Structure 1
Amino acid sequence: MGRHSLPDERGTATPGPRPQSRGRIVALATALVLVVAGGAAAAVRGGLLSFGGSCGDDAVRLDVVADPAVSPALREAADEAREQEITSDGHCVDVRVTARDSYEVAAELRSGKGDPEYDVWVPDSDAWVQRVGLGAKRSKVSPAGNIASSPVGIGMVPSAAESLGWPKRTYSWPELTTAGTKSDKLRLGTADPARSASGLLALAAMGASAKKQGGKEGDTQAAALAKALASRTSDSDDRLLDTLARDGSGAEQGDRRRNQALVLSEQAAYAHNASAGEEDSLALFYPKDGSPRLDYPYTLVEDGRMSTDTSRAALRFMTMFSDDDGRRILAEHGFRTDPDQPSDGLVTAAGGRTPQPYADEATDPPSDKELQETLGMWTITVQSARLSTVVDASESMRQFVPGRDQSRMEVTKASLLRALAGFTDEDEIGLWEFATRLDGARDYRELEPTRRLGDRKSGTTHRAALSEAFSELQPVPGGATGLYDTTLAAYKEARSTYARGKFNALVILTDGANQDPGSISRSSLIAQLEEIADREHPVPIIAIAVGPEADKDEVQQIAEATGGSGHQVDDPAQIHAVILKAIMEAGSNQS
């Protein structure tokens, strides 16, 4: 796609409306398909939805919760709906918009606790809708389309941008991040990826690009970038902007607490520049390896419980953003209404300028798996991790994995080595193996103690020693699965060596149910785990059942007794992703 020319001077020109995209931006036809259950489709076909005219006395109340960035635009649209007496099926549409952080609403809906007191949720990214889907007791959410978009880049104060050759020079995500984290010459800040979609999508883009460029070292490089960013992380996007240095102030330029560059959306840069003076405005870099986009999904909440009138009102309000007036409102607040043809005026006002690739196609949105891996990496990177890893070494681990010329143990070892590459030298990891009668009467044996990967002993780092121990794991001839005694002993050890300020967890990998007739019972194990577990010093068990014979229900019951989670993988190659997903879930439960 070609790039549009921009004027050399920065401006704050108000962008005009653009034609509606047929892709991401919501269209009426898309909406109709998604609200058939409420009867709205039949209503539209029958001409019952009125798009103008006099309101009746009985207005239909529609409660909308929206991300703080987009809520002002939604409020303006709601006011316009009242002023123009826009109706749905003859009823006035009375829309009430409340601003709430997307991560808070996602956590609430994911928990499924209570009945949401809103009908529509507009987060800044579909990533939050995916997050809701992880909850076992989640509230039902139904995305109906996307009302706007905004690419994520890196905004810089003018002097910092010019020092990097803006706008003529372009950078990839790893290059920009490295420039901002290598020294204090360019201080780069981000909002917490666990609470900010801009921070999360940027971190996912950094990781994907680092892995693509770095090959086998990509995971380590991605973790190192995340670790560097973590030292300048703010709780939210709003607080992130408060950390920005004033480019015209020599005092603040020398203040190491102040950031000269920020990971933020184009819309956030637009809003900042609208109120900032020329010296304090931002120049915006759009990474050449692709800018992920916030996509503002219009999401129905528990639509199956909505009345027909409410469903139709929700549909009617959404269609306002496919009309000229709705697109104008969004554009005036700094949002793109056609991602394929961005407004030059909007981009200029946000700090963009050719030849920055602001009009290039966005990167493909990260998958659920990629987001879970990114958040898992962030959790263990920011907090540093203390993980005790317990691996099943029973005879059954010799069995070959279907479709692979490798045993369960061989694939498990490879997956553990891959996971190890994503940890930093500050993380603490240990290794036990278990099988019946492995060490005298005991079913378990410590192979490497849980300590810092960067620690050295006899000239060898603990990372190197642990890698060797993983590589040397072998199934024990005739060994059975001594799961219960091992789990209790390992959990007691992990609890007694709890490291404050770190993410503590016990990771157990097993391909079968307990096979030791002389061990404690499952009920006794669960009761003792519940008694030992301490919410103030959490050590969740992450239990992974490997292979079709493994009992997922068993490992899930054991793990949940400690606030952890149980998982099943048919292929041990999935272990790495599952560990990161479980860490992310456990980390969010503790926050």
Structure 2
Amino acid sequence: MGRHSSMPDEYGAATAAPRPRSRGRTAAIATALVVVAAAGTAAVARPELLGLGGGCEDEVHLDVVASPDMAPALREAAEHAHREKLTSDGNCLDVAVTARDAYKVADTLRAGKGAADFQVWVPDSDVWVQRVTTGTGDTEVTPAGNVASSPIGVGMVPTAAKSFGWPRKTYTWTQLAGAAMQGDKLRLGAADPARSASGLLALTKLAATSKKGDGTQAASMAKSLSQRTSDSDAQLMDTVPRDNSGTEQGNPRRNEALILSEQAAYTHNKEAGDAGSVDLFYPKDGSPALDYPFSLVGEDRLSTDESRAAVRFMTLLGAPEGRKILEKHGFRTDSGRSPATVVSRAGGRSPQPYARVAAKAPTEEQLEETLGMWTITVQSARLTTVVDASASMGNIVPSRGESRMEVTKASMLAALSTFTPEDEIGLWEFATFLDGNRDYKKLVPTERLGDQVGSGTRRDRLSAAFTALQPVPGGATGLYDTTLAAYKEATSSYKSGRFNAVVVVTDGVNEDEGSISRESLIKKLDSLADPDHPVPLIVIAVGPDTDKREVEQVAEATGGSGHQVSDPADIQQVILKAIIEAGSKGN
């Protein structure tokens, strides 16, 4: 084809410069990073700022952990620093770089079990830093800025790309994903969004641009992608044909297209050559991008020499020498123009909109919603939802002008829309003496949403049941007996291969004086919980009349989680977040 030896024509503007961040840095580091914040300017390149070419009083050692795609570039930069005697306060830098999957590092740091054995972490995306900072661990991660970027697109083997009109024809994300949903029109693979930033950012973009507001289209796309998902980015790259002869391309186990970063396509094409290259589509509605945050780990435990050495190493990466190394490995830098050779070798060509990246990074809330959708889509969920119907649910939510029940129903219905026909969802309501002497009533059994029930589906029946929920006049909160009964039924009807859970929503503490005690409830839940057949209890306390510690204690007995929200509208987000957390514990 000869395209890899040519430069893309009409090359556009550069991607956005790395975004400097500050999350509680100490004054000393904040001062030192003033130099780094201007990475790519003439000032940074001055030898006296870099500490290049001088003598060494001693060496300062720095352990850096980076995502597998970034590690080779950082090793070359470390070798350059050693060869050129880059110094920090007169001490030569001795930088050791180790490649580790970002999701594994994030999970370790989030758990906070012991001090980290490295001082700097460069994952492929800030999504992993966010995951750490929202965890329970005590290891502080301080992003200092971004050393590179790489937009995410869809790479296709040449025969598939040609059939889709590459490079002249452009597509949106939903159009490309939609093609993969039409039988065998396109075998599209992706890395697991729970383990891959590329997969997660692309799926989040797909969910955000889905035309149907009820979320079902995004869930369908996720379900389709899950059929050809690889555990990691590295494994994903092994799923494309090894050559363009046509033999392997006809193999149904091989992917014809991949959701991948430009850097991954660059590396693949460089190694495979024209015989096994991919062409890269850059969706016209904008590409999310990997942003490679340079982060200090356990900053409060770093010595002054280590902290300043980290700043010096990052400064090198922003200097012309460092940018040259990064671009050589297929990354975009902040040098003012994106390197044309990177786009060309990655398989991009005008008029593909390779200079257009997403104007705005997804929020943490959007990422959590996407992960929640992915978890329940891939695993298929089996949830029993239990909703408080006590009289206090009729109280008005000041910020909404509606009752707690009305806002709760809207949030629960929004959560319901993210589930697929394969998921099993049931509904109970509870209030004291709701059904004779019982505090609860089963409204819809926990069964498959896609099943036909009369002239409609079980989803229709469930939606109608949610819509019909009303506070019971004079009803009090019969929380404990209801929780135990729902949990007993869920554990006795456990189904393997699904995400089994019980979700309880309440706006008050237990008010049934004749019910089981909290201590007895926790003991019984603990005895029912089976690690081999996990059924986490997710308890959401809504409003000022709830006891956060109570719901946490009750839920934790099952390996679940307790949450308190002031606004019932937050219930959907809390459910998805709790599913993510519970799912990660089960993996």
| Interval containing the TM-score (normalised by the shorter chain) | over 0.9
Instruction: Go from structure 1 to structure 2 and tell me whether the alpha carbon gap of 1:581 and 1:340 turns closer, same or farther (over 3 Å shift).
Output: farther
Establish whether residue 250 from structure 1 lines up as the match of residue 241 from structure 2.
no
Task: Tell me the residue number matched to 2:342.
Answer: 346
CA distances 1:192-220 after superposition (whole Å, capped 9, x unpaired): 0000000000000000000xx22x33x00
Deviation of the 1:33 alpha carbon: 9.8
Among candidates 378, 385, 399, match of residue 381 of structure 2 = 385
Instruction: Rate the CA distance shift 1:9–1:135 in 2: closer, same or farther, 3 A.
Output: same
Bigger shift: residues 225-234 or 396-405: 396-405
State whether structure 2 residue 37 is matched by structure 1 residue 41: no
For residue 336 of structure 1, give the secondary structure of its aligned residue in structure 2: coil
Q: Distance in 1 between matches of 2:95 and 2:461?
A: 62
Deviation at 1:352, TM superposition (A): 0.5
Residue 181 of structure 2 corresponds to 181
> What pairs up with 1:355-370 in 2 under 5 angstroms?
355-370=351-366
1:19-55 CA-to-partner distances (Å, cap 9, x unmatched) read: x98963377xx7999453458639989x997612444
Q: Is the 8 A contact 2:32 2:311 kept in 1?
A: no
User: 1:58: how far off?
Assistant: 2.9
Partner of residue 397 from structure 2, selected from 398, 401, 415 = 401
Instruction: Report what 2:295 is aligned to.
Output: 299
1:47-66 aligned at under 5 Å gives the runs 51-56=51-56, 58-66=58-66
Q: Name the CA distance, whole Å, in 2 between partners of 1:39 and 1:170.
A: 43
Preserved CA contact (<8 Å) 2:266 2:345: yes
Matched, 1:25 2:18: yes
**Residue in 1 that maps onto 2:559:** 563
Higher mean C-alpha displacement, 325-334 vs 249-258? 249-258
Provide closer, same or farther for how the CA distance between residues 37 and 550 of structure 1 changes in structure 2, counting only shifts above 3 A.
Answer: farther
Give me the whole-angstrom Cα distance separating, in 2, the residues matched to 1:544 and 1:511: 8
Residues 549 and 31 (structure 1), Cα distance of their counterparts in 2 relative to 1, 3 Å cut: closer
Unaligned 5+ residue runs, structure 1? 1-7
Q: Which moved more, 1:439-448 or 1:389-398?
A: 439-448
Q: In structure 2, what is the Cα distance between the partners aligned to 1:24 and 1:375?
A: 27
SS in 1 for 2:171: coil
Deviation track 1:538-584 (CA, whole Å, cap 9, x = no partner) reads: 11111111112222221111111111111122111111111111111
* Residue 223 to residue 340, structure 1, CA distance change in 2 (3 Å): farther
Q: Secondary structure at the match of 1:250?
A: coil
Residue matched to 2:309: 313
1:67 maps to: 67
1:125-152 residue CA offsets vs partner (Å, 9 max, x unmatched): 0000011122123421000000000000
Alpha carbons of structure 1 residues 44 and 575: separation in structure 2 relative to 1, 3 Å: closer
Q: Structure 2: how far apart are the matches of 1:398 and 1:309?
A: 61
Q: Verify the 8 A CA contact 2:58 2:90 in the aligned structure 1.
A: no
Q: CA offsets, 1:418-472, max 9 Å, x none? A: 1111110000000000101111111111101000001113333110110111011
For the Cα contact (< 8 Å) 1:50–1:89, is it kept in 2? no
Residue 10, structure 1, aligned to residue 22, structure 2: no
Q: Which moved more, 1:242-251 or 1:58-67?
A: 242-251
Which residue in 1 is equivalent to 2:39?
none
| Residues 506 and 356 of structure 1: CA distance in aligned 2, closer, same or farther (over 3 Å) | same
Q: Does 1:578 align with 2:574?
A: yes
For the residue of structure 2 that corresponds to 1:287, the secondary structure is coil
Quote how far apart the aligned CAs of 1:181 are.
2.6
> Would the aligned equivalents of 2:50 and 2:315 in 1 still touch at CA under 8 Å?
no
| C-alpha distance after superposition, 1:142-175 (max 9, x if no partner) | 0000000000000000110111111111111111
Q: 1:250 to 1:220 in 2, by over 3 A?
A: same
Pair 350,122 (structure 1): closer, same or farther in 2 beyond 3 Å = same
Write the letter of the residue equivalent to 1:362.
A
Question: Out of 419, 425, 430, which is 1:423 matched to?
Answer: 419
CA distance in 2, matches of 1:232, 1:107: 24
In 1, the alpha carbon distance for the partners of 2:23 and 2:468 equals 59
- Amino acid in the other structure paired with 1:222: A
Deviation at 1:259, TM superposition (A): 0.2
After TM superposition, the structure 1 = structure 2 runs for residues 181-580 of structure 1, keeping only pairs within 5 Å, are 181-210=181-210, 213-214=211-212, 216-217=213-214, 219-246=215-242, 248-338=244-334, 341-580=337-576
Q: TM-score, normalized by length of structure 1?
A: 0.93
The 3 A distance-change label for structure 1 pair 432 and 261 is same
Deviation at 1:406, TM superposition (A): 1.4
2: CA distance, partners of 1:22 / 1:33: 27
Shift of 1:118: 0.3
Amino acid at match of 1:572: P
- Counterpart-to-counterpart distance in 2, 1:129 and 1:14: 35
Cα pair 1:389 1:430 within 8 Å, conserved? yes
Partner amino acid, structure 2, of 1:192: D
* Contact 2:202/2:288, CA 8 A, preserved across alignment: yes
Runs of at least 5 residues in structure 2 that lack an aligned partner in the other structure = 37-46
The verdict on how the C-alpha distance between 1:268 and 1:48 changes in structure 2, with shifts beyond 3 A counting, is: closer
Query: What is the rounded CA distance, in whole Å, between the counterparts of 2:517 and 2:49 in structure 1?
Result: 63
**Aligned-residue CA RMSD in angstroms?**
2.3
Query: In structure 1, what residue type is equivalent to 2:585?
Result: N
Please name the residue that 1:90 is paired with: 90
- 2-side partners of 1:60 and 1:26: how far apart? 27
Q: Which moved more, 1:131-140 or 1:48-57?
A: 48-57
Helix, strand or coil: the match of 2:578? Answer: helix
Give the aligned residue type for 2:478.
G
Query: Residue 5 of structure 1 aligns with which residue?
Result: none
* 1:107 matches 2:107: yes
| Mapped partners of 2:138, 2:181: distance in 1 | 38
CA distance in 1, matches of 2:33, 2:426: 61
Q: Which amino acid aligns with 2:436?
A: G
1:185 to partner: Cα distance? 2.5
Rounded Cα–Cα distance in structure 1 between residues aligned with 2:240 and 2:14: 34
Cα distance in structure 2, aligned partners of 1:31 and 1:84: 30
- Paired residue type of 2:106: A
Deviation of residue 178 (structure 1)?
A: 0.9
For 2:29 and 2:286, how far apart are their aligned partners in 1? Answer: 39
- Whether contact under 8 Å (2:15, 2:338) holds in the other structure is no
Q: TM-score under structure 2 normalisation?
A: 0.94
AA at the equivalent of 2:167: P
Q: Is the 8 A contact 1:542 1:566 kept in 2?
A: yes
Q: Distance in 2 between matches of 1:284 and 1:385?
A: 35
Distance 1:63 1:156, change over 3 A: same
Letter of the structure 2 residue corresponding to residue 178 of structure 1: G
Q: 1:402 to 1:420 in 2, by over 3 A?
A: same
Farther off after superposition, 93-102 or 534-543: 534-543
Moved more, 167-176 or 387-396: 167-176
Query: Against the structure 1 CA distance between its residues 339 and 504, is the aligned structure 2 distance closer, same or farther, given a 3 Å change threshold?
Result: farther
SS in 2 for 1:59: strand
CA deviation string 1:90-139 (max 9, x = no partner): 11111000000000000000001111000000000000001112212342
Q: In the aligned structure 2, how far is the partner of 1:390 from the partner of 1:478?
A: 19
Q: Quote the residue 1:168 is aligned against.
A: 168
C-alpha separation between the residues in 2 aligned to 1:416 and 1:109?
A: 33
What SS does the aligned partner of 1:312 have? helix
**Cα 1:37/1:515, change in 2 over 3 Å:** farther
Partner of 2:527, secondary structure, is helix
After superposition, the Cα gap between the structure-2 partners of 1:305 and 1:23, relative to the gap in structure 1 and judged at 3 Å, is farther
Query: Taking structure 1 as reference, are residues 195 and 185 closer, same or farther at Cα in structure 2, changes over 3 Å only?
Result: same
How far, CA to CA, are the matches of 2:339 and 2:386 in structure 1?
55
- Conserved? CA contact 2:22–2:143, under 8 Å: no
How far off its partner does 1:276 sit?
1.2
**Structure 2 vs 1, CA of residues 44 and 321 (structure 1 numbering), >3 Å: closer, same or farther?**
closer
